[in-house]
Structure 1
Amino acid sequence: MAIVMLGVMLIGFIVSIPIAVSIGLAGAVGLLMTNTNLLILPKEIYTAIDKFPLAAIPFFILAGAIMERGGISIRLVNFAKSLIGGVQGGLAATCVLTCMMFAAISGSSIATTFAIGAILIPALVRDGYPRPYAAALQASSAELGVIIPPSIPLILYGVSAEVSIGELFIGGIGPGIFIGAVMMIFVLLYARWKGYGKVARADRLSITQSGIQALPALCLPVVILGGIYSGITTPTEASVVAVFAALLIGMFVYREIKISDLFSIFHKAVMSTVMIMIIIATAGLFSYLITRAGVPNAIGSYLRDTLSDPFMFLLIVNIVLLVIGMFVETNSSILVLSPILVPVAMSMGIDPVHFGLIMVVNLAIGMVTPPLGVNVYAACTVGNVRFDQVVPRLLPLIAMMIGCLMVVTYVPDITLALRDIVYNR
């Protein structure tokens, strides 16, 4: 039964049936094959989304939509440009740094791609970077949006694996900063090697001027994450705070959002939320049937018997997740695979917070890896460039990110050191 369900789901992916529908069809086939009462279908779908932490998802999506429209992204770009934009390759590094800052507010790589790419891809082209490389850089930089907290995939992992979302958020800070720093060094060296961005343009603001303009935007991560780590708010409550703070800044500080803009902002957020929630609902039914069929226990027993060494287990998991990330959407991958892999990882002594970041970093790379590569498609749309032109420019960036993944995998302190300090572990 499980093999048939997986086959139905994979066929759906291959023939471009929407992800949520493919997973739902696989679940329906499983119900019919086992002669299960069909009332299980609405019950499991409801149970999958009847979790309080999931309420954070629509609010973080809405906050990202507000920030995209409210002038926050351009001010973050100007601030990052004033810090590192004056050297050769500085504008490329600015792209990475801006994505890091925007990720600490929005929690979404797609939102980061559209909000920052609309500004920086044309700017990179004006500074002599090839348009395909500019789009590739934007797509790969935006993947930091699902690693640096707040992160929607980390919320989904926390819910499906029953791991503290607060610990996951603070665990994501180290890998996010590490990968972002390595990426900035890489793009600076790559620009010098290729001769990109030789002319430092004089349209940068001073650090003081840009810092003052960006101060309200820079306060948002402090308010969001500070509230979570201080215990004042839960991650879900912090997402609501993020919406109101972004709205106040966009409407009354920067004054770039009018009342008439709110409908389109809310409409965009609702459509994005609906897509994610339908995937979560159908994945809940799929996970229930897979668990009932004993697949997680069987896989767990097999992995424990054949891969008793945690080093080899993590290596195989990385390879498998990188391949899966090439074909399957991030959120559905987390929801389907977490209940299977997390118990095995914990039985080998691997911290579930560390394992969660390994999963998310893996699947974040999948967001810029063909053929799925949702970030790449978004960057191609923003940059007005063909997908096939961007892919060759992505390869060095993907290789660099895989190298960072290996370091995050085998140096757990990058993820756990700050968590252990904050939570007195």
Structure 2
Amino acid sequence: MSLEVLIIAIIALMFLRVPVAFALLGPCLAYMLTNGASLGLATRTMLAGINSFPLLAVPLFVLVGSLANRSGIAERMFDFAAAVLGRLRGGLAYVTLGVNVGFSWMSGSSLADAAAMGKLMVPAMVDRGFRRPFSAGLSASSSLIAAVMPPSIPAILYASIALVSTSALFAASIVPALIMVACLAGAIWWWVRGRDDLRGEPFTWRRLRRASLRVIGPAVTPVIILGGILAGFFTPSEAAGVAALYVLVLGLSYRSLTVRQLPGIFVEAALTTASVMLILGASSVLGWVLAREQVPRHLAELLQGVTDNPYVFLILVNIVLLLLGIFIEAGPAIVIAVPILYPIAEAFGVDPLHFGVIVIVNLIIGLLSPPVGGVLFVISGVTKTPLGEVIRGVWPFFIPLLVALLVITFVPALSTWLPGLLGLG
């Protein structure tokens, strides 16, 4: 089997909606068998791909997200954000963005964020007079923050492949995530200007005090995760374990979580982790095939022949990754693209942390793009909104997201400043 046939087979299987892991693994195994490699080598390559210490954090952060989703934390954050922002014109739209940002400090996954927040926020916005496509589009777009803001699972995957510090990449992601929030807030302001009918309830100190007391417990979670990591008290894996225990105790104390629910939550986290690891293993086999065919070297020579300007290189990378994100979800796309593009980025002198943030932001924008667009399907499912309406509501938010991407790409200091300040860069 040739490399061209392999790529065509993978694309065809993905269009047929074959699960990503098997769409990658089947053609790669056929390639290896027809080119003299053994199944034993494929097995060892898969195991080597997931035998990484940073990946220990993945199942624990998945568990944190699952527990937070079931423990009533989202409702408490909603009450607090509504007490602070509700009186603004279009206040509930800002609340939606704010609650997604708050939940992103715990979930690490855009799909988990979309499921939890979409079910809560979209019906509330529709009841307050917002059009359903706008409400669904905003909820979908806001959920992307979770894949950039620590504890970002895509960041853990990038760090394990590029061999950079997970803590440093977490720190590098914070300011870019806030840039995305600012751009989305600007889009909300534009769309709700002049709509006084979209104002929420008047601000009262009593309501704010009550909501503040209810949100203190959940607010400690990001302090444990990010504060513990950046202060050097925990590794990311240890912080994830402590945070999972804390959220579990929190949910049980709120009585929103019961002991009977725990087996289902653990099974859900285990299944999610297993699917991620299977994709990583299959992607490692694809990486072996691409290395055997010297694809990274040929692509590096091609790009260096086109330009010697690092910013032109980054423009080309943005285009390639945006297109890749349309067809492949962020996790497997990182595993496929980073081994190829990272050495080229190093040759162009691009900071590895800056490049990691660029890769993650590009690929998570693909979560809003059909035909794969996982967030689109999640929002459609949990809110009972037709997929066409969700897609129509999402399109206006591509503009602020792409503006944020350009700013992040061409201002490297936004990604490198905080890690340098904390001595992590």
TM-score normalized by the length of structure 2 = 0.96
Higher mean C-alpha deviation, range 39-48 or range 28-37: 28-37
> How far does the alpha carbon of each residue in 1:173-211 deviate from its partner, in whole angstroms, 9 at most, with x for none?
000111112212321221226x48524136987222211
1:241 equivalent to 2:230? Answer no
Shift in Å, 1:77: 1.2
Q: Counterparts of 1:86 and 1:57 in 2: how far apart (Å)?
A: 38
DSSP-derived class of the 2:372 partner: coil
Following the alignment from structure 1 to structure 2, what is the Cα–Cα distance between the partners of residues 155 and 228?
Answer: 13
2:290 is matched with which residue?
290
What per-residue deviation string (whole Å, max 9, x for no partner) do you get for residues 138-169 of structure 1? 11000001000110000001111111111110
Q: Which residue of 2 aligns with 1:178?
A: 179
Aligned twin of 1:377: 377
The aligned amino acid for 1:71 is G
Inter-partner Cα distance in structure 2 for 1:171 and 1:311: 19
Q: Greater shift after overlay, 196-205 or 178-187?
A: 196-205
Write the mapping of 1:389-404 to structure 2, written as runs, cut at 5 A. Answer: 389-404=389-404
Q: RMSD over aligned Cα, in angstroms?
A: 1.5
Structure-to-structure mapping, 1:111-190, within 5 angstroms: 111-190=112-191
The answer for the alignment partner of 1:360 in structure 2 is: 360
Aligned to 2:57: 56
Are positions 1:19 and 2:38 aligned together? Answer: no
Number of residue equivalences: 423
Question: Which structure 1 residue ranges, 4+ long, deviate > 6 Å from structure 2?
Answer: none
The residue type equivalent to 2:262 in the other structure is L
Structure-2 separation of matches of 1:116 and 1:391: 17
How many Å separate the matches in 2 of 1:259 and 1:292? 50
Contact 1:325–1:365 (CA under 8 A) maintained in structure 2: yes
Q: Does 1:274 align with 2:279?
A: no
Whole-Å separation in 2 of the counterparts to 1:332 and 1:241 = 28
Aligned residue for 1:308, secondary structure, equals coil
Partner Cα separation in structure 1 for residue 341 and residue 285 of structure 2? 18
- Name the counterpart of 1:308: 308
In the alignment, the residues of structure 2 paired with residue 267 and residue 130 of structure 1 have an alpha-carbon distance, to the nearest angstrom, of 37
CA drift of 1:227 comes to 1.1
Conserved 8 A contact 2:180-2:400: no
What is the alpha-carbon distance in structure 2 between the residues aligned to residue 164 and residue 126 of structure 1? 45
Q: Percent identity?
A: 31
CA–CA distance in 2 between the matches of 1:285 and 1:18?
16
User: What is the SS of the residue equivalent to 2:74?
Assistant: helix
Q: Specify the alignment match of 2:332 in structure 1.
A: 332
Cα-to-partner distance string for 1:126-145 (whole Å, 9 max, x where unaligned) = 11011122111111000001
2:246 corresponds to which letter in structure 1?
Answer: A
3-state SS of the aligned residue for 1:233? Answer: coil
Is the Cα–Cα contact under 8 Å of residues 369 and 398 in structure 1 kept in the other structure? no
How many Å apart are 1:41 and its aligned residue? 1.2
Gaps (5+ residues) in structure 1? none
Secondary structure in structure 1 of the residue aligned to 2:22 = helix
Q: Which amino acid aligns with 1:332?
A: P
Q: Is the CA contact (8 Å cut-off) linking 2:107 and 2:151 kept in structure 1?
A: yes
Contact 1:87–1:200 at 8 Å: present in 2 too? yes
What is the CA–CA distance in structure 2 between the aligned matches of 1:124 and 1:374, rounded to whole Å? Answer: 22
Q: Measure how far apart 1:76 and its partner are.
A: 1.0
1:367 partner SS: helix
Give yes or no for contact 2:183–2:403 (8 Å, CA) kept in 1.
no
Tell me if 1:30 matches 2:28. no
Verify the 8 A CA contact 1:49 1:281 in the aligned structure 2. yes
Aligned to 1:2: 3
Aligned to 1:16, the other structure's residue is in SS state coil
Q: Secondary structure at the match of 1:39?
A: helix
Distance 1:154 1:422 in 2: 18
Query: Residue 325 of structure 1 contacts residue 362 of structure 1 at CA under 8 Å; is this kept in 2?
Result: yes
- Corresponding residue of 2:420: 420
Distance 2:284 2:349 in 1: 27
Matched, 1:191 2:175: no
Q: What CA deviation, in whole Å up to 9, does each residue of 1:351-383 have, x standing for no partner?
A: 010001001000111011222211111111121
Which amino acid in structure 2 is aligned with residue 355 of structure 1?
A: F
Question: 1:263 is matched with which residue?
Answer: 263
Residues 91, 199 of structure 2: 8 Å contact kept: no
Structure-2 change in CA distance of 1:126 and 1:161 (3 Å) = same
CA positional deviation for 1:112? 0.6
The answer to whether the Cα contact below 8 Å between 1:91 and 1:197 also exists between their aligned partners in 2 is: no
Distance in 2, Cα, partners of 1:30 & 1:147: 35
Name the CA shift for 1:313/1:149 in 2 (closer, same or farther; >3 Å): same
Give the corresponding residue for 2:200: 200
Structure 2 counterpart of 1:394, one-letter code: V
CA deviations 1:262-286 (Å, max 9, x no partner) are 1121121122111111101111111
How far apart are 1:424 and its partner, in Å? 6.6
The SS at the match of 2:326 is helix
Find the aligned partners of 1:170 and 1:5 in 2 and give their Cα distance: 38
**Structure 1 length as normaliser, TM-score?**
0.96
